[in-house]
Amino acid sequence: MIRQLRIWVFMLIMLTLGCGGLTLQSNPIWIDEAVITGEIDNQGKPVGESGVFSLDQPIIYCYVAGRGSDSIPVRLKWYYEDDLLLDQTISLGPARYNYGYIKLKPGKQWPLGKYRVEVGLVDGAIKTVEFSIEGPQS
């Protein structure tokens, strides 16, 4: 009797799961675009795209566009060579785009070399964009 009851309970659970009584959803997130630029317009969109900046570029932006949930938290990890410069989180919000930036300190210059931004979710990189700083160093 107890064995039959267990079988009925098991079948009822399986039937409930199979008929949509319990729905498990995942909400995938896509990063459609990651752009490095020196300028952002009034709508928050990049003005051009660049992979090379001067030593005195005041701000470097990383524009990100994606698809997924209503408020997508995106992590930007800015590196010079292998040194982490900045770890920031932005939200793509309802418009599904936003940007983060790194700012040059007054009176300073960027070190020459290779830079990169790892764009991803809080727990891992999805996309990497690279840029460099070039020019005569003073």
Of 46, 42, 38, 29, give the one whose Cα is nearest residue 115. 38
Is 49 among the domain residues? yes
Higher-scoring residue by pLDDT: 93, 44 = 44
> For the chain, how many structural domains are there in total?
1
Is 14 among the domain residues? no
Per residue in 13-40, pLDDT (tens digit) is 433 334 333 333 345 678 889 999 999 9
Is 12 among the domain residues? no
Q: Which CATH number do you get for residue 34?
A: 2.60.40.10
Average pLDDT (77-98) is 92
Domain encompassing residue 72:
26-133
Residue 16 is predicted with a pLDDT of 34
Does pTM top 0.85 for this prediction? Answer: no
CB 40 within 8 A of CB 47: yes
**CA atoms of 100 and 103, how far apart (whole Å):** 10
Residue 125 is predicted with a pLDDT of 65
